[in-house]
Structures are given as C-alpha cells and as structure tokens.
Amino acid sequence: MSTTTELTNWQSVHDEVLRRIHTREWKPGDQIPKEVELAEELGCARATVNRALRELATEGFLDRRRKAGTRVATHPVRRAGLDIPVIRLEIEGRGQKYAYALLFRERRSPPPEICANLGVTPDSDMLHITSLHLADGKPYMFEERWVSVAATPEIVDADLSKISANEWLVLHAPYTKGDISFSAVLASENEAEILRTQKNEPLFLIERTTWGGEKGITSARLVFAPGYRMHTAL
C-alpha cells in the first residue's frame, strides 16, 4: 500500500503502522517493509521510522531481529491491556440471553467535555446515542456515546436499532489508540430509572475514548447495573 501523506514525526508513523496491524493489512507473522522503504513511502527520515518501530516492538506489536527483519508479532499483546469487547458477545459468553434497545439517537454539536475528550471543535458533526443492553431480560449496561461523523461517516446510515453502536464500531471503525478509566458513580435519577435501581445506588462506570490516527472516533460512558463484576486475563 502506498500513501501520499507525509508523516514527519515518529508518533504519526507509529500510529500508521499500528493501524495496518489492527486492520490486518499486516497480519501476525508477516514481515513488514524495510525501514528505508517505509521512510520513502511515508515521506519521512529513516530515523523517524526506526524510532516508531522500536516503540512498537517495546509495546509488543512487532518482533525485531537482526538480519531477520521485522515481523508483526504472532501474539501482539505482551503488556497488560484491555481489548474493547462486543457487549453482546460478553453477555452471551456468560450463558445469558442478549437483548438491546436504542433509546436515543441525534446528530448534533458536542458539549465542551466531548470536545476536550476527542479533540473536536464545538461545531463538529457528532452522533449522540444512548442505549440499553440487557442480559436475560434485565438491565446490564446503560451506554451513552458520542461518535464523530467526520471520523466514521458510514455510521450515519447504520441501523443502530438492530446493531449497537458498540458492536458497529468494533466491526467498522478500527482504532489505533485510546484511553480508558474505571470508577464508581452514584446513579442519577435517569440512570436509576433505566437500570431499574435506586437513585444514588453505587454503580461501576467505564469511560472510554478511541482514536484512529489523529482523529477522535468515539467517547463512551458505560454505566453497569448493580452487581456487575469485571474480569480480565493478563
């Protein structure tokens, strides 16, 4: 694949290489182009490419060996990390019946906190979505999400009454980086009503933001029903 975009800093090169790995343009075990070839393709210095590849090797995405070249790691995640789960599969994996309800969908400009999270401007075209995920007919998680239309224009035509924004984005909007936070929150009146609990009930909260290169894709606020317990393997 060739590109006409010039990437002048190592972080941009890092993000582009990581994008190719995430989208399986470069599959696990594939040998990637030589540094000099990547530098010519991406319009940057070889030293810039070298810095980016060294960082990706440290992160566990690349396997670099002298005289053998650089390959995409067969098992890319060697440091503690979290994948973005498809909530439907998470619930079905617990042996429960999954159901989903789209509560609200609107194209509008973002509030200040979303501008700060995603690095977008107040006049940006955004999709604001709220939905409820259920397990065995009971509320499991309330999702409030903002999606950048500029970053993922195809989502405008997606039928989010049939597939959740969570699942659609995992399938159609590969990300190169993101951040995630975990905390406890007291249920607001609206959250208590949706999750069928009491106002001020302590709830588990995940806040997550993802980017594709330098473009913010989505910022999500996920509030789980009482009793939720998170489990992950290292």
Average pLDDT over residues 81-91: 81
Is the pLDDT at 2 greater than 50? The verdict is no
Contacts of 83 (CB under 8 A, 6+ apart): none
Q: What is the pLDDT of residue 7?
A: 64
Helix (H, G, I), strand (E, B) or coil at 178: strand
Segments making up each domain of the chain, as ranges: 10-72, 87-224
Rounded mean pLDDT of the chain? 89
What CATH number does domain 10-72 carry, 1.10.10.10, 1.10.530.10, 3.30.70.360, 3.90.105.10?
Answer: 1.10.10.10
Q: How many CB atoms lie within 10 A of CB 43?
A: 13
Report the CATH number of the 87-224 domain: 3.40.1410.10
Torsions phi, psi of 58, nearest 5?
A: -60, -35
Confidence label for 134 from pLDDT (cuts 50, 70 and 90) = very high
Q: What is the three-class DSSP state of 226?
A: coil
Position 137 scores a pLDDT of 97
List the one residue out of 93, 84, 87 whose CA is nearest residue 133.
87
- Please give the model's pTM, rounded to 2 decimal places: 0.67
The reply to whether domains 10-72 and 87-224 share a CATH topology is no
